[in-house]
């Protein structure tokens, strides 16, 4: 996967502080539960002023989101070594989603507040600034799609970026359904998403009609 450009000294310092705050918060969440932990407790445990914490994270959900993205970045880094240069989208993404399903099942209680926060960010400047974040799963999806396009195994009339965003939305829909419907297996929901993305919704023998032009 493409590595991002190295950040400057100020950005590195800011990132290190955010990582420290998020790691501290995660330990508190694990010990006491997300709902019970306050921003004041996070600041005290991290040994920073409360104002410093709020300068980096306006709400507790933002701290949680940063920690989840750290976890995601670590997992994607490990997975990158398992996905060879000849791996195509279906195989590579199945490997990523198996790891994602395992992580989500172990951290299920964190997902509702995280997803609510991310959906509230849509259309904001914070969301725009994070759109190219290498910690986002979309970057891994885009990388795999691009390789499949280059091998003529996936359509190229839509960009890899566009297709990756569409797949990420399907991924989120499977995650939301799993959180909402008791008894579902997340790994199976993710497998259904991959099949739908690769094969479409029509039966194999069906001819898909072209949309009619409006007069």
Q: According to the model, what pLDDT value does residue 75 have?
A: 86
CATH 1.10.357.10 residue spans of the chain: 59-199
Asked if 147 and 87 touch (Cβ cutoff 8 Å), the reply is yes
Judge whether residue 188 has pLDDT over 50.
Answer: yes
Per-residue pLDDT reduced to its tens digit, 34-83: 999 999 999 999 999 999 999 999 999 999 999 999 998 888 888 877 77
Q: For the ranges 52-56, 83-87, 157-161, 168-172, which has the lowest average pLDDT?
A: 83-87
Give the Cα separation of 184 and 177 in Å (integer): 8
Per-residue pLDDT reduced to its tens digit, 112-152: 999 999 988 877 655 544 444 445 688 889 989 999 999 99
Where does the pLDDT of residue 205 fall: very low under 50, low under 70, confident under 90, or very high at 90 and above?
low
Q: Which CATH class is domain 12-57?
A: mainly alpha
Q: Which CATH class is domain 59-199?
A: mainly alpha
CATH 1.10.10.60 residue spans of the chain: 12-57
Percent of the chain residues past pLDDT 70, beyond the cut: 85
User: 3-state SS string over the chain?
Assistant: CCCCCCCCHHHHHHHHHHHHHHHHHHHHHHHHCCCCCCHHHHHHHHCCCHHHHHHHCCCHHHHHHHHHHHHHHHHHHHHHHHCCCCCCHHHHHHHHHHHHHHHHHHCHHHHHHHHHHHHHHCCCHHHHHHCCCCCCHHHHHHHHHHHHHHCCCCCCCCCHHHHHHHHHHHHHHHHHHHHHCCCCCHHHHHHHHHHHHHHCCCCCCCCCCCCCCCC
Average pLDDT over residues 197-210: 74
Give the Cα separation of 96 and 80 in Å (integer): 9
């Amino acid at each position: 996967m493409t590595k991002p450009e190295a950040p400057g000294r100020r950005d590195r310092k800011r990132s290190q502080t955010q990582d420290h705050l998020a790691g501290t918060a995660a330990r508190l969440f694990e010990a006491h539960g997300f709902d019970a932990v306050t921003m004041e407790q996070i600041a005290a445990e991290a040994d920073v002023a409360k104002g410093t914490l709020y300068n980096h994270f306006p709400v507790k959900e933002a701290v949680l989101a940063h920690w989840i993205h750290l976890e995601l970045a670590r997992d994607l880094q490990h997975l990158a070594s398992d996905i060879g240069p000849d791996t195509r989208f279906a195989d590579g993404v199945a490997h990523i989603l198996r790891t994602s399903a395992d992580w989500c099942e172990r951290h299920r209680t964190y997902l509702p507040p995280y997803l609510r926060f991310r959906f509230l960010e849509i259309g904001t400047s914070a969301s725009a600034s994070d759109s190219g974040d290498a910690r986002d799963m979309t970057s891994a999806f885009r990388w795999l799609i691009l390789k499949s396009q280059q091998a003529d195994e996936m359509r190229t009339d839509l960009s890899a970026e566009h297709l990756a965003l569409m797949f990420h939305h399907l991924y989120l829909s499977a995650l939301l359904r799993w959180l909402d419907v008791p008894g579902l297996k997340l790994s199976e929901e993710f497998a259904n998403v991959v099949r739908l993305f690769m094969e479409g919704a029509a039966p194999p023998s069906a001819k898909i009609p072209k949309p009619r032009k409006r007069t």
